[in-house]
Amino acid sequence: MTRHPPVKSSVRDLAVLGGAPSFAEPLYVGRPNVGDRNQFLKRLTDMLDRRWLTNDGPMLKEFEQRVATLLGVRHCVAVTNGTVALELTIRALELHGEVIIPAFTFVATAHALQWHGITPVFCDIDPTTHTLDPRAVEAAVTPQTTGIIGVHVWGHPCDIGALTAIAHRHSLRLLFDAAHAFGCSYQGEMIGRFGDAEVLSFHATKFFNTFEGGAVVSNDDDLATRLRLMRNFGFAGYDQVVSVGINGKMTEVAAAMGLTNLESLDRFITTNQRHYEQYRRLLAGVPGIVPVAYDAGERCNYQYIVIQVDEAHAGLSRDELMEVLWAENVHARRYFYPGVHKMAPYLSHGVSLPQTDRICVQVLSLPTGTAVQSANIETICQIIRLAVAHADHVRTAVQARHRRAPTG
């Protein structure tokens, strides 16, 4: 029998003011989705019986083919994780000098460039989609620029048309970091078909996972050939090394998980969409709380429930609201804070990105996925409504907690 959290009718019921937490165990953002366990265990048994655990096994090949078919691309090159996928593609595209990227992204996007001695040039974002602003990209192009990496955020695609036009105009390579956008579309076409290549992440925290993994998808035959060589030490055959490479191969057990979760993909997305619609309905009208919306005319994975907290209207900052939720054992997450341009390895770049800075202190991601129940969402929204309705009282309590916190 499911135990429902107690109803909080008074501000004093909030845990941040001394009430009991709504949840006995933490409720996380990005708790892994898992497909049919029996089907996965059957694949695992088959793998062990074959004693083929890695090195382009039959499950890997089937997984790559299914992903390529789903996205409508000629090639899917599966690798150990999304960061390796980025690094391999950056090298295969022979990027150098400067590459334009958003600072509103996971730090791996910049690290993958810096690791190869390439300078990431940070650009500002569109305030609605949270993706690269094409006008800022155009202004950032210099003679040293060799490429653009657009990042699809929350499943929102970049302005692919505008970025493609810029890349063509300046003879630049165009790569998309599609870690958030597996199963999403742009103008009716599946993400994965655009630019020179698109990079996917299948990390455990993504709505679709292979435990840990990633892939490069592309319609470029020569690029796919280079990537397959590079992910396997440059081997073109037994004892025949024809290029420099690394060990970036996806294992059979990861591919088995991927095949199993592909069979549940529609269920995962349907659950995410139902949660998204419930959050939007229950948070409608809460001052200063604006859920990030998705385009109903496009395919979307709905894997992120993101709200923007407007402190002036909510009476609470994003971080104060996050502290309220954490006290209730709701581990909401601020994403990409404080922006890659403000992280230690990149501070010397000294760029001004006003939209990025604003969004970085507003966005908060809430729990969703198959591990979250409808009753959990009702409770989370109730907490948010109560906190905003009594913002002055809550802010005073949060500040008092900070004064009591040990220092040094």
Which residue numbers are catalytic? 206
CA nearest to 131, candidates 107, 163, 166: 163
DSSP 185: E
- Please tell me what DSSP assigns to residue 28: E
Tell the residue number behind the tokens 């294992």, with chain if given: 251
Residue type at position 257: M
Beta bridge partners of 186: 189
Closest of 325, 329, 306, 307 to residue 387, by C-alpha:
325
Distances (CA, A) of 73 to 255, 365, 400: 19, 31, 56
For residues 268, 273, 274, 275, the Cα torsion angle rounded to the nearest 10 degrees is: 90
3-class SS string, 86-101: HHHHHHHCCCCCEEEE
Q: Which helix (H) or strand (E) holds 62?
A: helix 58-71
d(CA 287, CA 314): 5
Distance, CA of 157 to CA of 195 (rounded, Å): 12
Q: Which residues contact 285 (CB under 8 A, 6 or more apart)?
A: none
**How far from 316 is each of 205, 310, 387, 394, 403, CA to CA, in Å?**
28, 8, 8, 8, 18
The first and second tokens of residue 297, run together, are 């005319």
- Most distant pair of Cα atoms in the chain: their distance: 71
